[in-house]
Amino acid sequence: MHSSFKLLLLSIALVSASPIDNLAPPATNSTLNPVSAQGCYSGGERWANDRAYALQQAQAFCNDVGRGNYYAGESRPKCYNLSSNKKVNFVLSLLSTVPGRYIDAPECYDGMIKEINGCDNGGDTTYTNWRYIADPNAGNC
Ligand SMILES: *[C@@H]1O[C@H](CO)[C@@H](O)[C@H](O)[C@H]1NC(C)=O
Ligand SMILES: *[C@@H]1O[C@H](CO)[C@@H](O)[C@H](O)[C@H]1NC(C)=O
């Protein structure tokens, strides 16, 4: 199976399984909502004016629960308020196929930056060992 297809399946599984994922309703016209290979969300809230604040909150996440020793398959979600009745849900996970591993704050932040600066609606991208989610949503934590 092509790896980007696997990532797509992973994203779809997340959307249906995760209560924090407040994505737009399922697309009725799939050509309007392509899921890019990079894992950007194609709907839901946008960072809009909160992008810089989201980067600050990503730093806070990575300096707090984001960094440290993870066991295989461990997932660390945390919500941070943004301005104007908006929030961001971060999740950093070590893939279940990877033995326990340490991640430092800069590596954590480097991954989250890509989901914020590279994706207008946030994103969900898996690299070699780690899966990064940064998802803007309506409301407060
Ligand atoms: C889906 O959206 C595309 C792009 O806007 C449009 O060209 C196409 O006609 C639409 N298809 C349907 C079935 O609505
Ligand atoms: C988020 O904002 C709400 C409303 O102002 C507040 O009650 C809540 O404590 C905040 N949560 C965090 C994690 O800062």
Count of H-run helices and E-run strands, the chain: 3, 6
Among 28, 32, 33, which residue has the most ligand 1 atoms within 8 Å of its CB, making it the best to mutate? Answer: 32
Distance between Cα 30 and ligand 1 center (Å): 8
In a domain, 92, yes or no: yes
Contact between residue 77 and residue 90 where contact means Cβ atoms under 8 Å apart:
yes
**What pLDDT sits at residue 38?**
59
Distance between Cα 43 and ligand 1 center (Å): 17
> Which residues are CB-neighbours of 132 under 8 A, at least 6 positions away?
91, 92, 111, 112, 114, 115, 123, 124, 125, 126
In a domain, 27, yes or no: no
Ligand 2 near 9 CB (within 6 A):
no
DSSP reduced 3-state for 59: helix
**What pLDDT sits at residue 26?**
41
In a domain, 8, yes or no: no
Q: How many domains does the chain have?
A: 1
In a domain, 123, yes or no: yes
In a domain, 54, yes or no: yes
In a domain, 12, yes or no: no
Question: Digits of tens for pLDDT over the chain (141 positions)?
Answer: 444 444 444 444 444 444 444 444 444 433 333 333 459 999 999 999 999 999 999 999 999 999 999 999 999 999 999 998 999 999 999 999 999 999 999 999 999 999 999 999 999 999 889 999 999 999 999
Closest ligand to Cα 88: 2
Q: What is the CATH number of the domain that holds 128?
A: 3.30.430.20
Distance between Cα 139 and ligand 2 center (Å): 10
In a domain, 26, yes or no: no
Give the residue numbers spanning the domain of 114. Answer: 39-138
In a domain, 72, yes or no: yes
Ligand 2 near 81 CB (within 6 A):
yes
**What pLDDT sits at residue 84?**
80
